[in-house]
Chains A and B, each alone.
Chain A
């Protein structure tokens, strides 16, 4: 079966006045229809730029310099712009961390959802309002008809995120890209939104590319996980494998450094050092400076992603 999305050797660089920043340094991953792939990492690891690259929305001075983005076998990199525009918000849509980045404060939410429906589905105003109310009901907003006339500021953060999800669903996407969709929300509201996203995904057999730094969210929602560091995928495995047998020292470090409910650790085990500032050399492992067990080859040569068990790849020279 061809995967729904297959990203091959993607490189996205930023050509800044201060020099070249290699935000994404050649990554590969794929998502099957209906699956959830989580891209996990800390700030600056390239996870958000990867997501924006898939939609070809990398802001200047950034540019995709190499790679293939195969969506249902078709390379999005080769599509003319108008074609790409038809895919965005339609077959692939995106939800951001902060709902107000996707909502226009001066338009009623009914008009904002309606716009998507009119553009992508060719509905007239009345049918669009009808469909918008239906979408709001699906995302769990009570008395949807009245809410259509609300402005974003009338709604709470959790409700706004529901509206953004409704907008993202308007084109019946096959792939939803969700960039930290619950990070700005309180824990009880986060639980509601995760539940909503999962049930929508089941009903619609929609695939999700989930960008997050939270391993709790990963454990509860992902099928596969790619752990990113320094613009590279360091580990790629099914979710149970990542938690049961993390193969990369960085993954191991991340899983060990967070307190978990009911664990009663006396002391946390941090990863030493600082996050890489961007840029950086081509040679060697990007995690070298912070790695608890580096050895000679790590300095000179970037380790390749190697399969350690079927379906579980690790970018490390250690066995």
Chain B
């Protein structure tokens, strides 16, 4: 089966001032050669810590940001080459759900208009038909027809996220990029929204690029998982495989850092030392070597290629066979 979305060597740099008083600008490589494919109906989880470039990757694919290089093939076309006009019909097919349901909804618009706006812009439904369609969408996401005329402030966080989901569904997309869709919500509400996302995925055969920092949630929702660090994918594998047998030391460290929800299993933490280095000045060789417990000389000099370690399991590490030794059971 052909992939629905194929991202090849995607790049984006931001140029930031090197000090407060101007001076030469420095290159910050936010996304540095990211490649992956998404197959119809699957969920790819994109996980990493703040600043790793996962959100920027999502925005580049949506063309909310213009990339510096690479290809994004969506339904057979490289969308990075298309003009604003050409891309419009494709925009219906790819939608985004954002983290903050408070800031992504216009506070002065009624819910019915927020969800129905897409129909108006794309001219896909007349006035009367529009209202019926919106009400149907509201019901799909667990809201009611009576809420059509309400304003966003009258809803709780979880309900606002449902409105965002209804808006994303309006034009029957095939791909949804969800950027931390539940991390701003309370625990008891997160589960409701996660279940809703899984229900609509089945009902409308959606493909998800699910961006999050929560490793337990990513494991729950993803078929495959890509781990990002300093603008690069360092490991990508089927979900079961990557959680059971990580092949990159960073993935292993992330998994070790997740608190274990069982007080009888308290163990000594194997905390990863140090912090993420500045992306303005990434380390030479392997980008992870300064924090890596497995690092040797070669890691300081040669960047490891992202290569297949097992079928369908790629990792960028010179010593991937050793990874797993430090796993906190």
Contact = CB atoms under 8 A, between A and B. Distances in A.
Interface of A: 42-43, 156, 158-159, 186-192, 194-195, 213-220, 222, 239-240, 243-244, 253-255, 257-265, 267-272, 274-275, 277, 290
A271 B188 contact: yes
Contacts of B253: 188
B contacts with A: majority SS: helix
A275 B220 contact: no
A260 B215 CA distance: 9
A187 B187 contact: no
Interface string B253-264: 111111111111
Given A214-B259, A258-B190, A267-B195, A188 B272 contact: yes
A269 B262 contact: no
Which 9 residue pairs are nearest across A and B when measured between Cβ atoms? A216-B259, A270-B191, A259-B220, A186-B49, A257-B191, A271-B188, A191-B257, A268-B191, A42-B186
Residue among B195, B220, B240, B263 facing the most chain A CB atoms (10 A cut-off): B263
Contacts of B260: 216, 219-220, 261
B188 to A, nearest CB: 4
A257 B271 contact: no
A314 B89 CA distance: 57
Residue among A217, A263, A269, A274 facing the most chain B CB atoms (10 A cut-off): A274
B269 A259 contact: no
B271 A195 contact: yes
Interface string B267-280: 00101110110000
A222 B255 CA distance: 21
A187 B258 contact: yes
A3 to B, nearest CB: 21
Interface string B185-200: 0111111101100100
B216 A258 contact: yes
Nearest to A242: B263
Given A43-B186, A186-B50, A268 B220 contact: yes
25 contacts: A188-B253, A188-B254, A188-B271, A189-B49, A190-B259, A191-B272, A194-B259, A195-B269, A216-B259, A222-B263, A239-B263, A240-B263, A240-B264, A243-B264, A258-B190, A259-B220, A261-B216, A264-B240, A268-B194, A269-B191, A270-B191, A270-B192, A271-B191, A275-B156, A275-B189
